[in-house]
Amino acid sequence: MARLILFNKPFGVLSQFTDRGSPTKRATLSDYIDVPGVYPAGRLDRDSEGLLLLTDDGKLQARIADPKFKTAKTYLAQVEGEIGDEALASLRSGVTLNDGPTRTAEAERIDPPDLWPRDPPIRVRKAIPDCWISLTITEGRNRQVRRMTAAVGHPTLRLVRWRIGEWTLDGVAPGELREG
């Protein structure tokens, strides 16, 4: 029976069990997860938070992480500025990034979600408002959501992956895990 673990990755934690490449010790999955034989199904940037799935089943890992399977991933993004209908329409139809056009996406403005405080908090600039969007993509390019929001003029300030396929972060606190 395949093992699946849902982990709420805190900000600043690498999506790997070891840190190769930094002279200073950075937090890794091994600081939070002591389950032998499981590996991340995909990645989540160090400066992003939220759902990371880990499994001991290579086929399941590939189904979750490989873009050809088009597993939907939903992100909650706090973006700079008041995003309008035109920017949301651009996100929905796909934007052109330096590595090519993105697939179509689901994008909507949302009320600020009830999330845990981020440590460290985002930078706040009194002269520049911010808002939250929900963005669902079926790809997983490097820093894709951040690049998409920047391409429509709204850089991402905070990014939380909330859902991957049928699995959600609901009820999993930062730094905690739950068997899926």
Write the pLDDT tens digit of every residue in 75-94. 999 999 999 999 999 999 99
- Cβ neighbors of 97 (< 8 A, separation 6 or more) are 141, 144, 147, 148, 151
* Residue ranges of domains in the chain: 4-67+167-179, 72-164
Residues with a known catalytic role: 45
Q: For the purposes of burial, counting CB atoms within 10 Å of the CB of 94, is it exposed (0-12), middle (13-18) or buried (19 or more)?
A: middle
Specify whether the CB–CB gap between 163 and 180 falls below 8 A. Answer: no
Q: How large a percentage of the chain has pLDDT more than 90?
A: 77
Q: For the purposes of burial, counting CB atoms within 10 Å of the CB of 102, is it exposed (0-12), middle (13-18) or buried (19 or more)?
A: buried
**Fold of the domain built from segment(s) 72-164:** Alpha-Beta Plaits (3.30.70)
| Per-residue pLDDT band at 64 (split at 50, 70, 90) | confident
Q: Is the pLDDT of residue 70 over 90?
A: no
| Per-residue pLDDT band at 52 (split at 50, 70, 90) | very high
Domain 4-67+167-179 has CATH 3.40.350.10: no
pTM of the model: 0.94
- Same topology between domain 4-67+167-179 and domain 72-164: yes
